[in-house]
């Protein structure tokens, strides 16, 4: 049983590969056949056969390689596709060429059909042998060479009558046909006769047409005119360009964060156009915000979307605006601004390591304090001291790196007797971090007379002791 299953799978793979790899073909033919002679003005039909969904370009060259007529059509299905038209100028050998490109993989197939347009006498207007159709210039122009789906284009058909004498040329209503191809099929918009006198140039038709939603590319508009007297064919080309449309939407961002903390703004970019397109997101910020990257370029499929993370890192405290702009093909498609508040958390601790000693009035004492930076950021601290009847030496600011400490000596001199209370405050950026207090007592100094008496007594006692020692010897 397993053998049959494996064999069936192998046959399926082989047949699948054969289908995928089969060659792409395209042929063109006229009826009743190629290599034949056709009359100028004769209506002739033909067929194009393609083996797959393909874009087919068809054009006619004369014997010198000059291109006279040009068509472009997409055939969405494989098989036979018919076309009809009128044999036009020049008289002589014509070669109809086709080049087909398969949509799925870009494979190319070509073919051609050669025939002859005859005869010179057929371009005379019947009954007026001095009036020659070749002396009338039939031309087609368009008001814009490039447009997008939803735009209007206007085709202008003009005729210049260079025939002499009384060779008026009347363009009969209903005999002019416009082949818009994929732009909109065939139309016959000439509703009334137009007379062009010898020596005149006249607008035969102005036809406005809406460009439908079609792929980008170059498309041909072919205009035929054929009556019992003359046949003319001319064409013009329009390039259809799909405009790029897109939008940006901020999905998330940190509205409050700390200095040196890494953040991101998550942006959703949508491709709203009918084609794959390249988009660039440009980010800009003040110098206090470090952008890891300021341009993000992405390719998004038709009607698709993608997310972009704009990474940044603030370096200073404050409130900042981060601007985002979406562009494509040099055009701005959207702009937005997010506001980010950046904080710098600071803290500090104040400890009394050694309180001041009790001293006499006017005698200096010292207190030893420890300032500890309990935060992660390097900080400048300011230490203040306040007390009544105590003179305190000026205290300078102190710089303490993050997570480190520093000891400070504060010198104080009492100006009065008694117990003195000194309060210390630790500040950073005008915010109170911590406080501490110490107390010391000032004693009364003995009078100078009492000090002199004590010294005299000491000297007398020392003298008596020395005399007693001498007598004993």
Question: pTM to 2 decimals?
Answer: 0.54
Q: How does the average pLDDT of the chain come out, rounded?
A: 87
- The two most distant CA atoms of the chain are separated, in Å, by 182
CATH number of 123-242: 2.60.40.3880
Q: How confident is the model at residue 471 (pLDDT cuts 50, 70, 90)?
A: low
- Residue with the larger pLDDT of the pair 68 and 455: 68
Quote the CA–CA distance of 318 and 54 in Å, as a whole number: 61
| Distances, alpha carbon 326 to alpha carbons 282, 300, 337, in Å | 6, 13, 12
The pLDDT confidence band at residue 233, using thresholds 50, 70 and 90, is confident
Q: Which two tokens stand for residue 153?
A: 């284009």
Instruction: Please determine, for residue 320, whether its predicted confidence score (pLDDT) is greater than 70.
Output: yes
State residue 70's pLDDT score.
78
Coil vs helix vs strand at 448: helix
Q: Class for domain 24-118, per CATH?
A: mainly beta
Q: Is the pLDDT of residue 24 over 90?
A: yes
Domain ranges in the chain? 24-118, 123-242, 246-343, 349-443
Does residue 15 carry a pLDDT above 50? no
Closest C-alpha among 335, 371, 375, 374 to residue 353: 371
Cα 108 → chain centroid: 34
The pLDDT value recorded for residue 352 is 94
DSSP character at residue 1 = -
Instruction: Give the model's pLDDT for residue 85.
Output: 83
pLDDT tens digits, 254-310: 999 999 899 999 999 999 988 899 999 999 999 999 999 999 999 999 889 999 999
pLDDT score for 449: 46
CATH says 349-443 is which class?
Answer: mainly beta
Q: What is the rounded CA–CA span in Å between residue 444 and residue 358?
A: 11
Burial category of 325 from C-beta neighbours within 10 Å (exposed 0-12, middle 13-18, buried 19 and up): middle
Per the model's pLDDT, the better-predicted residue between 73 and 138 turns out to be 138
| Superfamily (CATH H level) for 246-343 | Immunoglobulins (2.60.40.10)
Q: Residue 425, SS3? A: strand
CA angle 118, 119, 120 (to 5 degrees): 140
* Element (DSSP H or E) covering residue 8: helix 2-20
Q: What's the pLDDT score for residue 445?
A: 61
User: Is the peptide bond prior to 296 cis by the omega test (within 30 degrees of 0)?
Assistant: no
For residues 393-407, give the mean pLDDT. Answer: 91
In this structure, are residues 56 and 73 in contact, taking their beta carbons and an 8 Å threshold? Answer: yes
Average pLDDT over residues 140-156: 93
Query: How remote is the C-alpha of 70 from its chain's centroid?
Result: 38
Q: What confidence category does residue 16 fall into, taking pLDDT thresholds of 50, 70 and 90?
A: very low
> Mind listing the pLDDT tens digit for each residue in 74-126?
888 999 999 988 887 788 899 999 999 999 888 999 999 999 988 654 466 77
Beta strands in 259-404 (DSSP E): 263-271, 277-284, 289-291, 295-300, 305-314, 318-328, 331-343, 349-354, 359-360, 365-372, 379-386, 390-392, 398-400
């Amino acid at each position: 049983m397993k053998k049959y299953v494996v064999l069936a799978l192998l046959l399926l793979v082989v047949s699948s590969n054969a289908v995928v790899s089969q060659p792409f073909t395209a042929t063109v033919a006229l009826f009743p056949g190629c290599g034949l002679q056709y009359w100028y003005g004769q209506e002739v039909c033909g067929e194009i056969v393609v083996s797959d969904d393909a874009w087919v370009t068809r054009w006619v060259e004369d014997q010198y390689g000059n291109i006279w007529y040009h068509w472009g059509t997409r055939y969405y299905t494989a098989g036979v596709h018919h076309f009809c038209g009128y044999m036009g100028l020049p008289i002589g050998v014509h070669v109809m060429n086709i080049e087909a490109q398969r949509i799925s993989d870009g494979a190319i197939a070509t073919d051609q059909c050669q025939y002859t347009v005859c005869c010179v006498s057929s371009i005379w207007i019947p009954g007026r042998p001095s009036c020659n159709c070749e002396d009338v210039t039939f031309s087609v122009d368009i008001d814009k060479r490039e447009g997008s789906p939803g735009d209007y284009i206007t085709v202008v058909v003009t005729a210049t009558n260079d025939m002499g004498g009384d060779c008026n040329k009347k363009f009969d209503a209903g005999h002019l046909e416009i082949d818009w191809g994929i732009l909109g099929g065939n139309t016959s918009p000439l509703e009334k006769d137009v007379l062009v006198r010898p020596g005149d140039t006249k607008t035969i038709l102005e036809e406005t047409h809406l460009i439908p939603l079609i792929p980008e590319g170059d498309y041909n508009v072919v205009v035929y005119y054929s009556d019992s007297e003359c046949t003319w064919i001319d064409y013009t080309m329009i390039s259809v360009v799909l405009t790029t449309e897109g939008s940006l939407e901020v999905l998330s961002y940190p509205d409050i964060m700390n200095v040196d903390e890494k953040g991101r703004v998550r942006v959703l970019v949508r491709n709203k156009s009918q084609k794959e397109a390249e988009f660039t997101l440009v980010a800009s910020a003040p110098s206090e915000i470090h952008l890891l990257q300021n341009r993000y370029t992405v390719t998004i499929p038709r009607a698709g979307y993608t997310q972009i993370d704009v990474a940044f890192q603030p370096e200073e405290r404050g409130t900042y605006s981060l601007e985002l702009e979406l562009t494509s093909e040099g055009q701005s498609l959207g702009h937005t601004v997010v506001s980010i508040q950046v904080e710098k958390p600071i803290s500090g601790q104040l400890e009394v390591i050694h309180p001041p000693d009790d001293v006499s009035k006017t005698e200096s004492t010292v207190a030893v304090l420890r300032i500890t930076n309990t935060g992660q950021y390097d900080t400048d601290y300011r230490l203040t001291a306040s007390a009544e009847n105590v003179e305190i030496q000026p205290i300078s600011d102190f710089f303490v790196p993050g997570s480190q400490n520093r000891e400070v000596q504060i010198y104080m001199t009492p100006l009065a007797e008694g117990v003195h209370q000194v309060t210390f405050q630790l500040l950073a950026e005008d915010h109170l971090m911590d406080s501490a207090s110490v107390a010391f007592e000032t004693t009364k100094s003995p009078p100078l007379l009492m000090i002199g008496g004590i010294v005299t007594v000491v000297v007398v006692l020392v003298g008596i002791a020395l005399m007693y020692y001498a007598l004993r010897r």
